[in-house]
Amino acid sequence: MASAPYQVKKFYFLEYFYILLKSIEKHAREQDALDMFKLLRETHSLGDSKYKRLTSSEEEQSSRQVKLLYYTFKQVAAEALEYRLIDFDEKNGKYSLSMKGKELLSHYEEGNSYEFNKKLFPLMEEKFKAFYEIINFCYEQNKNKSGLLVFPLYSPIKLDFKKSEIKTTKDILDYSRALQKKLEQDIEEFIGKSIDLTQYNDELIQNLKKACLLPQDESGKFAPDKYNSMIIRFRKFWLKTFLNQIYGYKSGFPSFDIWTYRGKQIGALHVTEFYPGFSGRIVYPTSVIVDHETNGDFEKLFDYANGYSLYIHSPSWADPENQDKFVDALLDAYFSSRKTNRSYFVGLPDIRELVCYKMRISQHLFNVFLEKAYLLNLKGELKVKISLEADKLPHETNAMYLKREPVMVNAKYRNIIAIDIAERRNQ
C-alpha cells in the first residue's frame, strides 16, 4: 500500500486548518482571508515551530515575515484543497468552504478541538497513509518496548563540557567522542543493539570542517560565536542518523517530525523531548494497526483498503479498572519524581509524561482522566488525596515558546501536583 508522508506541508499544528476555515468562512477574497488568518494565528499563539508562542510577534512586519505568513497560508490552503475542505475559483480568485469544511469547522466551534483533530485524521490518512507507515515502522523497530524510538541528544554541558572551556578543535573532538560513546550506550540500552558509530562521528567532524565551523588543525582556536551553530549541526546530524541509518526509515526527518507531532494531537502517537531522566526525544505509538476487532479500550479511526484498521488507545473512565490503573500509574509517577525532588509538590508535566508512557495513552486522555480523578477527590471518593496547584505558569515567565503545557483542571491551569496516600493506607 503506497504512502507518501514526505509530501506533507510544512506546518505542525492542526489548528492551522481551523484558522484557515474560519478565515475563509468570513472572507472569500484571498487578501481579506489572509488578514484574518494573521489575526487568528496571533490569537491562537501559532508559529512555525512545533511549540506555541508565548510572546507576541506583532513587531513591524518585515518583507520576509510577510512572505513567510503568505507562504504558511498557501501551504495550509493547498492541503485543505487536497482534503476538499475548501474550494477555489480561479476565475475570480475567491475561496469558499465545502460542506465537508463547514462540518469540520462546526466541531471546533462547538468547543471540541480534539474532536476536530480526530475528524481531520481520516482525510490526512486517506491521502498520505503516513500513520500507517510510521506506526508500523515503530513496532517493527522495537517490538520489545511497544514501538519505542529514542533519539538521544546531549549538549556539551550535559556531558560536562563547559562552553567557556571549549576553545580549540581538540575540545570539540573530545566532546564528539564522549557523545559518540554515550549514544552507543543508549542504543544498547533502549534498542538492544551494539553499533559502532565511529564512521558517523567522523563524517560529522568532516562536515563541520567543510562548513568552516571547525579549524582543520586540532590546536586551532574555536570561534565562540560559532558555538550555537555547531550545536545545531550536532543535533540535526544525529537526529537524521538515528532515523535513517540506525532505524532505517526511508523518508527524511522533517516529514517524520511533522507527522509525529500531528499524531500527538490526534492521539495516535506520542512524542516528547522532556521525558524525565532522558536527554533527547522519544516517540512511541498510542495506537495499533490490526486486521481484527480490538477490545473496548480502543477506538477505530480508519479502515485501510488491505483490511487493516487503525485504533487509538482510548480506555474509558467509566470502567473502574481503568480508574484504578490511572490512579496507580499516577502514584508510581509521583513517588518516582519525589526521589529527585524534595518538595511535596512536583512538576505535573513530568508526571504526565510518565503516566502516558506507562499506560500508552495520549496527552489529551491524561488531561481528561486527571480532571475526573480530581473531581472524585474533591468529593472524597478517591482512595488518595490529590492536590493540584499552579506554580509560575509559562506565560508568567520570560519564555518565548510554550514547550510544556499546563493541564486545565476544574477550569484552572495547574502545573504542580502532590498526592497524599494516608487515606489509602487506612482503607
DSSP string, 303-345: E-TTS-EEEEE---TTSHHHHHHHHHHHHHHHHHHHTT--SSS
CA distance 23 to 19: 6
Which H helix or E strand runs over 121?
Answer: helix 113-128
Q: Look at residue 425 in the predicted model and tell me its pLDDT.
A: 42
- What are 414's three cell numbers? 495547574
| CB 295, CB 315: distance < 8 Å | no
> pLDDT below 70 — which residues of the chain?
1-7, 56-61, 395, 422-427
Q: How far apart are CA 166 and CA 176, in angstroms?
A: 12
In order of 88, 101, 178, 218, 235, the CA distances from 37 in angstroms are: 16, 16, 47, 52, 33
Residue 164 burial (C-beta neighbours within 10 Å; 0-12, 13-18, 19+): exposed
CA-based torsion, 245, 248, 249, 250: positive or negative: positive
The model's pLDDT over 83-113, given as tens digits with 9 standing for 90+, comes to 999 999 988 889 999 999 999 999 999 888 9
Distances (CA, A) of 384 to 366, 380, 418: 17, 9, 10
Angle between helices 30-43 and 15-26 (to 10 degrees): 140
